Amino acid sequence: MRFNTGLLHDGVNRKEYHGATLPPICQSSAFDQESAEGLEKIFEGTAPGYCYTRVGNPTITAFENRITRLEGGVGSIACASGMAAIFNAIMGIVQSGDEIISCAGLYGGTIDLFHDLEAFGIKSTFIEPNNTGAIEAAFTERTRLVFAETISNPGLVVTDVEVLSEIAHKHDVPLILDNTTATAYLFKGLEHGADVVVNSSSKYINGSSNSISGILTLGGKFKWDIEKYPALAEYKKFGPFAYIARLRNSLFRDMGACLSPQNAFLNLLGLETLGLRMERQCSNALDLARFLQKEFPDLVVNYPGLNSSTSHEIAKKQFGEKYGAIVTVRTGSKISAYSLINSLTIPYKLSNVGDTKTLVIHPASTISLHSTDKEREDAGVYDDLVRISVGIEDVEDLKEDFANAVKLISNS
């Protein structure tokens, strides 16, 4: 099926849900079995079934299956948040003494998580995205994975995923890709060399800012060296599912950061319109970015779809004619950045992206607040930067609102 048809129909057995157009919410924490022997087999993992929603739930499974088909993977695990998905994706394969190579300029919360891992003896080295020489030089005998964002948030640097995956695989380590800001609408990372794709499904997948959630999807092609990844040793018998089996039977199960059935249902509902929303949001973002760049030359406008973007050529190669739905502007000072945000009447002032509504935020004082000066610089976060998550409004209304706000701060 093509993209939008697949979002509505792919992987769904209509008879399984009595003809319901969406899988129902199975709001139950535990599930009765016919016998003690049957329950034992489910706990052992030797028989299919549901025992406890922390481990699995029919509504959550339906969401996981839909994302697996969408991303072209072999399996997915839905978590309570995007950060929980990243944590599981990484901690499922590393141990104390291991090292991570990450592209610099990540979302501030991810940088904070990587620093948290230092307490467990896991070191992260941050390298400028697409600097192949520096990335190559960063590998050591303890490097266990490479991590990157498809489109960095909020710097909007586009990673050349195929090149990065070639480097990672040359050193026999997997590439874990955070695809939240691109989504499978723009880019299917597993088809371009990524081994695990992570999405904060609270964002574009959900689309309405009503559910916190995250999901990781395994490509199933990476050949795991058990000596290098001993945590997978007892799951090697599962072949391409070894990574998922390890999480299902230990870390994910034991950590307890599971998605709720209600939120899984809301994600399934939002997922159906992902293609339509992204088409409009990407179009609006390009239109708004061009407008701001042309009409207000004192603003520094950044968007991968603009020829002036340092990521334009990579974005065009990877995405075609769609470039995402986030625009940033630099206004000249923190005061003017705040004034711009406060003068807008349509956008919401909140820390999320991917909503149907346009959202604005000052990253330096919010999502990158705990980053060092160097980390903020690497992420393209400056005191005068405003991030705009463009929604599906009529773009002429957005242009008028931004024009009025810019004129107000210019006059003041």
pLDDT at 310: 96
Distance of CA 88 to the CA centre of its chain: 13
Position 409 scores a pLDDT of 86
Q: What long-range pairs does 225-233 form, CB within 8 A, spacing at least 24?
A: 225/172, 228/144, 228/172, 228/173, 229/93, 229/144, 230/95, 231/92, 231/93, 231/94, 231/95, 232/93
With beta carbons less than 8 A apart as the criterion, state whether 278 and 217 touch: no
**Measured distance CA(196)–CA(176) in Å, rounded:** 5
pTM to 2 decimals?
Answer: 0.96
pLDDT digit string, tens, across residues 3-44: 999 999 887 777 888 888 889 999 999 999 999 999 999 998
Backbone angles phi, psi at 347, to 5 degrees: -65, 150
Taking the C-alpha atoms of residue 250 and residue 294, their distance in angstroms, rounded to an integer, is 54
Residue 141 DSSP class: T
CA atoms within 13 A on the CB side of 138: 26
DSSP letters, 88-131, are: HHHHTT--TT-EEEEESS--HHHHHHHHHGGGGT-EEEEE-TT-
Residue 32 in contact with residue 23, Cβ under 8 Å? no
End-to-end CA distance of the chain: 54
pLDDT of residue 323: 98
- Which pLDDT score, from 0 to 100, does residue 34 have? 93
Nearest to 328 by CA among 390, 395, 392, 411: 390
CB 153, CB 180: distance < 8 Å: yes
Which residues make Cβ contacts (< 8 Å) with residue 54, sequence separation at least 6?
253, 256, 258
In the prediction, which pLDDT does 16 show? 81
DSSP string for residues in 299-311? SEEE-TTSTTSTT
What is the per-residue pLDDT across 229-243, written as a single tens digit (0 to 9) for each? 999 999 999 999 999
- How much is the pLDDT for 33? 94
Per-residue pLDDT, 13: 77
| DSSP letter (8 states) at residue 342 | H
In the predicted model, residues of the chain with pLDDT beneath 70 are none
Contact 301, 292 (CB under 8 A): yes
